[in-house]
Chain A
């Protein structure tokens, strides 16, 4: 299964590459001069958009946007693809590729050129030993360890990261806006989350060390976020560990507690791209997306995709029409 899908990916990526004879193909580029001429005499003349792209700093040919195999990443990939196509860049998509291990290989071998990434997840993948958690430090760490030929563009404010949430009733009753506010009440509260949260350094232990929180009990719920949210709404747990873009937050009017001490590593959404596909137009289009994305509007879009079952491409289109 896996092998054949990788093969299909490679074939799919090779066809457009050879078709447009782009200067990015290392086998074509015998000398630096020939690379330059290939760019000038690119075979995309018949495409009216070539002039726009060229104005932004050289034609990069087709950009293949990939995505990991979960709905939010597919949605973000559709947004990137839409924004690039609006800017006149030739785009195709290869969605639902798989885990980070799989699509990183695809980026390195040129099967895909661009993918929506999360700073913290990427930084930990590149160096499992990292301890930094703030947005800037995590980004710097990820950038430093990136393989040659790949680069990160501007990060967005939107984050899909671990968080502690409470019901709005609990938040009102105890006056909670941040994790630090839990300190006087933790002894009477039950914390719920996946079993790994109990043993992770930035889980239960981190809450104790960083915020001084000693919860009455940790309830380990391993049947997914649905069970965790159910338990929170029904009152079996008072505080729950779920991701910040979980549609359940919006649906159940849950309150995400702020994390002033950055216990949970930053997970800003960021475009990860092959350096050879970056020009002024591409960068500008993706920066505009990053400027417009917030955790809130990403969560709202996730409700549309996951709960209402809308097509991610359409949701992405709406977002682009409204915000860019």
Chain B
């Protein structure tokens, strides 16, 4: 079994071409980054507002908790059944898959963001106010940079979950590394299934390392110690 899996992974024919590992990895990354950007566009502003004002914190805490309990497969089926008659072409499948991934990614980004803002050194915040900064300036120049380590770790944890879950796009006929899992199961090709799983795990680790580098570059050197924690 293990031997067959490695044979499958090492066979160059499985890497190239339209349905090869490389092409499917690119498709996988495309959905994943689209979902991450959409989730960040929703969760980061809300998280900053909650963290900065301290308002509705209880709602954010409870909502992120509740969102984590949503079953992805169930959301996918409901979204497909609702959206399929209303959308045309490829979007009818991509939109439901993206909705699932975005819902999945919002909680870690949201909680990372408001926690990050709240964790900003109160002395730095008070100093900024004392210098006459407005609320918006405090947020932009003090709280956001201070929150970056936690925002980034929220994004990274969201991305790990997205990449793992994006395999379900294959259930509704989309590409991505999930194809190997679904097609492998359908044709009882267990080496393909196992190989596909390893490819997903490898891709998730690779992307996490890339985001770690981004984090290193983005976070102020003075806060390095925080990102390690």
- Chain A positions within 8 Å of B77 at CB level: 223
- Chain B positions within 8 Å of A199 at CB level: 183, 186-187, 189
Surface stretch bound by B, among A84-92, A132-140, A228-236: A228-236
Given the known inter-chain contacts A195-B183, A223-B77, A236-B89, please indicate yes or no for A230 contacting B172, CB distance below 8 A: no
Given the known inter-chain contacts A195-B182, A195-B183, A236-B93, please indicate yes or no for A220 contacting B80, CB distance below 8 A: no
Q: For residues 28 through 49 of chain B, which have their beta carbon under 8 Å from a beta carbon of chain A?
A: none
Q: List 8 A-B contacts (CB under 8 A).
A: A192-B173, A195-B183, A199-B189, A220-B170, A220-B186, A230-B84, A231-B84, A233-B85
- Select from chain A the residue with minimum beta-carbon distance to B188: A196
Q: Does A198 contact B (CB under 8 A)?
A: yes
Q: Which 6 A-B pairs have the closest CB atoms?
A: A195-B186, A196-B186, A199-B187, A219-B173, A221-B173, A195-B183
Which residues on B are within 8 Å of A, measured CB to CB? 77, 80-81, 84-85, 88-89, 92-93, 170-173, 179, 182-183, 185-187, 189
Q: How far is the CA of A223 from the CA of B174 in the complex (A)?
A: 12
- Chain B positions within 8 Å of A196 at CB level: 186-187
B89 and A198 within 8 A (CB)? no
Contact of B80 among A192, A198, A223 (CB under 8 A): A223
Q: A217 to nearest B CB, angstroms?
A: 10
Q: How far is the CA of A192 from the CA of B173 in the complex (A)?
A: 9
- Chain A positions within 8 Å of B179 at CB level: 220
Given the known inter-chain contacts A234-B84, A234-B85, please indicate yes or no for A221 contacting B187, CB distance below 8 A: no
Given the known inter-chain contacts A220-B170, A221-B173, A222-B171, please indicate yes or no for A194 contacting B89, CB distance below 8 A: no
Given the known inter-chain contacts A195-B183, A196-B187, A199-B183, please indicate yes or no for A223 contacting B172, CB distance below 8 A: yes
Q: A164 to nearest B CB, angstroms?
A: 17
Q: How far is the CA of A235 from the CA of B182 in the complex (A)?
A: 23
Q: Does A227 contact B (CB under 8 A)?
A: yes
A227 and B80 within 8 A (CB)? yes
Contact of A222 among B85, B182, B189 (CB under 8 A): B182
- Chain A positions within 8 Å of B84 at CB level: 227, 230-231, 234, 236
Q: How far is the CA of A220 from the CA of B41 in the complex (A)?
A: 32
- Chain B positions within 8 Å of A219 at CB level: 173
Q: How far is the CA of A233 from the CA of B92 in the complex (A)?
A: 13
- Chain A positions within 8 Å of B187 at CB level: 195-196, 199-200
Q: How far is the CA of A222 from the CA of B187 in the complex (A)?
A: 12
Q: B74 to nearest A CB, angstroms?
A: 12
Interface size grouping (class) on chain A: 20 to 34
B interface, by DSSP: helix, strand, loop or mixed?
helix
A223 and B183 within 8 A (CB)? no
- Chain B positions within 8 Å of A195 at CB level: 182-183, 185-187
Q: How far is the CA of A261 from the CA of B75 in the complex (A)?
A: 41
Which residues on A are within 8 Å of B, measured CB to CB? 192, 194-196, 198-200, 219-223, 226-227, 230-231, 233-236
B171 and A223 within 8 A (CB)? yes
A200, A234, A235 interface centre (most CB from chain B within 10 Å): A234
- Select from chain B the residue with minimum beta-carbon distance to A199: B187
Q: How far is the CA of A196 from the CA of B189 in the complex (A)?
A: 11
- Chain A positions within 8 Å of B171 at CB level: 222-223
Q: How far is the CA of A233 from the CA of B81 in the complex (A)?
A: 12
- Select from chain B the residue with minimum beta-carbon distance to A228: B173
Q: B94 to nearest A CB, angstroms?
A: 11
Q: How far is the CA of A34 from the CA of B88 in the complex (A)?
A: 74
A220 and B182 within 8 A (CB)? yes
- Chain A positions within 8 Å of B80 at CB level: 223, 227, 230
Q: How far is the CA of A188 from the CA of B172 in the complex (A)?
A: 21
- Select from chain B the residue with minimum beta-carbon distance to A196: B186
Given the known inter-chain contacts A236-B84, A236-B89, please indicate yes or no for A221 contacting B186, CB distance below 8 A: no
Q: B212 to nearest A CB, angstroms?
A: 35
A194, A195, A230 interface centre (most CB from chain B within 10 Å): A195
- Chain A positions within 8 Å of B185 at CB level: 195
Q: A93 to nearest B CB, angstroms?
A: 33
Q: How far is the CA of A227 from the CA of B185 in the complex (A)?
A: 19
- Select from chain A the residue with minimum beta-carbon distance to B86: A234
Given the known inter-chain contacts A230-B81, A236-B93, please indicate yes or no for A221 contacting B183, CB distance below 8 A: no
Q: How far is the CA of A236 from the CA of B92 in the complex (A)?
A: 8
- Select from chain A the residue with minimum beta-carbon distance to B85: A234
Q: A199-B183, A227-B84 are in contact. List 10 more A-B contacts (CB 8 A).
A: A195-B186, A195-B187, A199-B186, A199-B189, A219-B173, A220-B186, A222-B170, A223-B171, A227-B80, A231-B92
Q: How far is the CA of A200 from the CA of B170 in the complex (A)?
A: 18
- Chain B positions within 8 Å of A234 at CB level: 84-85, 92
- Chain B positions within 8 Å of A235 at CB level: 88
